[in-house]
Chains A and B, each alone.
Chain A
Amino acid sequence: MQTDLHSAAYPPRRRQRGPGQILLLLLALAMAAFSLAPVLAMLTAAFTDDNWILDHGFSIFPSGHWSLNGVRALIRYSPQLWTSLAVSLGVTAAAVCLGLLIMSMYAYASARRGFRLAGFLGVFALLPLVLSGGQLSEYLVFTRWYGLGDSPLLLILLASVSAANVLVLRTWILRFVPAELTDAAEMDGAGESRTFFRVVLPLMKPALAAVGFLLAAACWNDWQTPMLYITSPSRMPLTAVLVRIQSSIDFLLNSGSVPPADLEGIGGFIPPFSTTMFAALISAAPVLILYPFFHRSLVRAVPFGALK
């Protein structure tokens, strides 16, 4: 029994256009504007002449003083940008593929009726939400015991499995994959894996899309793990570069002399503002562009992780 939750979230209503509705509309507009304003400012700054920014400051709307200098500086003189872009893409793609596969299998096992360990698996996945070793302990374990310091593999592993996502997948299976289907498959002689791959997985598409997107976004946007663990520039994802540009820019604005290593990374210190904003834009753009396509799946699948 599949409800199209997306349309259900926005069901057709009789139009009652009273003054209250105008107020609601204004509030909604205000929220959207509030959310978008900083993004617009970034978009504007990336393509604005830095001298203009220095004289007149940042602005939300374009001032007409366009310049591609920041864009050019970053694209032409920053090999680090391309390296990091590749790392981000690789790590994210790997995390999504791995994560979706192993999490959905796990969720299936933990939702399987008649399986004694299903309950245990469920609790096992949820416990880390409340019990954590803490950042220090994780750092020591990951670097000392596993030797995964400066390793993209660590980024992939950390991103691939999360309790919340397992919960969403599991709840989806419980709700939308009727036991009759899996039982019927079992009676037809299909093994568990065949049942899973042929019957269950196709039914999980919206949940997989939603979880896949969330996973990709979380991995792409993660800044703390790369900052803590990745030390070789050739292995730094985009966010790690963004975090390091920050200290460079501060340094730039204060003293005007730049350490050679940082200079290479941002490809020349003029122009600092548009360059930084363009780098930020590159990081933000993929997720922002893709999100509207996944909004529908998210509305359908995610609330079920929280509701019952």
Chain B
Amino acid sequence: MKIKGIPASFGFAIGRAHLLKSNVYTPKGASIQSSDVENEIERFIQGKALSVNQLENLHQEAVKKLGAEKAEVFQGQIEIVTDEELTNEVSGKIRKQLMNAEVAVHLAFEEAIAEVESLDDNYLRARADDLRDIRQRIVNNIAGRERNDNLFETEDAVIVIAHDITPSDFAQMDTKKVVGIGSETGSLTSHVSIMAQTLLVPAVVGACQVTSVVSDGDMVVLDGQDGFIIVNPSSAVLSTYREKQRLEIQESQQLSGIVDLPSATLDGKRLELLANIGTDRDVEAAIRFGAQGIGLYRTEYLYMDQESMPTEEAQFSAYRTVLEKMQDKKVIIRTVDLGGDKKVPYIDFPEEDNPFLGWRGVRIYKDYPGLIKAQLRAILRASVYGQAEILFPMIISVEEIQRLKALLSELQSELMREEIPFDDDIKVGVMIETPAAVMVSEALAKEVDFFSIGTNDLTQYTLAVDRGNNRIANQYNELHPSVIRLIKRVIDSAHANGIRVGMCGELAGTLRAVELLIGLGLDELSMSAPRLPTVKKKLINCVYDDALYLADQVLQTSTSMQIARILSETEPAGNCVKNNSI
């Protein structure tokens, strides 16, 4: 039996199910007499005091297990329990409406929970679960009900399954015994998910009806990668997952070794390995996986899901955070690339037959100059906090970059007049993602400090294939001979003019292309952080001379099939099927 949920913390767990009994109890009860009012108030006060006590203890335990920062959630809970307004409301309900203490508390929280759940912010909405957790604790304490999770008496390798797992529940778990958690409620940003990620405990949330299907003691596989909970798995499924666990352990062991090795081939050719990030939260993963810098900081997330354009201040803050976290490692910030499928309400997008060939990227800046000015000012101001570089997307002509450089210069003068410091030597680059840019790359190279090849868009524009179109998506191929020749041309233009060239498209993180990319002469590869160790492993086992030869061979073939064959022949035997009859 396989239940699907939302993967909330990566990893694979195998163990016996331990069902957490539901602590959810909705109090009902008769009204009280007016003579009982003071007594009820006293019950409420006692209930609060006991709750605070319990939470202080939980806080201390959590500090030890999770660290002070993550444990702070319990301080927040204490603050809510002792909240003035809450106390006034509850007292009001007891005195004026003659409710008993449990019901008064339940209803006072109900309002707050409803309001929090109707807020726009995803992060905030998840706080509603915290409020429920706190409410339950106070109500249970007033009523004298015990919380009944004896997780200290379980055998080893237990997977906790429940309707709802609260931060308090999780903080009490012995993570040597609890190897995974699964719940019917919860979300990716709930506190429990975050705690599980910190402690590297695989977790699946939102698994509807799992408590109806799992019994205490059932053998369970919890897949924190794809979000499955498998009850009473067959031996085939069990061995598949044991293998996944083994590989995961192996990967993480190798990971810690690889991060410290120099980023170069066996014969000493260096290549920088960078990470792509979308938000400043991705930076931690980038650092953990050994990125030597950020090759692409996609700034669109600052603009999307918002009612209005992000202010210069808000952006400055975000860029500063990333730059400070990365310290002396470079951070290539790509200016906002909206349009196509990335729309926002505060910009008037036209109806387009061909949005892909439409009003997007730098084209929008001309019509909304405030947009790019605010962003560039924010980047410049933040540049004093680290190694910022500016990258412009969707460039097709030399005129475009010249105009943008003039604007940048203007803004730098503006900042100087305002006596605001910035890095006056900030590097500027362009994305090469259109055939037009490739063909004038010689001239573009004289205008900028670096190129970044965006293979995703470059491939689509070059092959005239929309990878989102099911009918022809199988023709999308980043290793098409035309695409590879264009890449080579860009690299040659860059080096002929003494500038560096990197790649930030999906191809950069594709294992079977790594040796080819090295041989073509790229200086940097930027990819999503988890890809870094695998790619680095490949890099440090390559011989540059062999890579040059490989690139040469590939550049001389003119069919995708031959190229695919050449590339797969360089994989160690056993990883692919050889087709000698072709």
- Same complex origin of A and B: no
A residues touching B (Cβ–Cβ < 8 Å)?
Answer: none
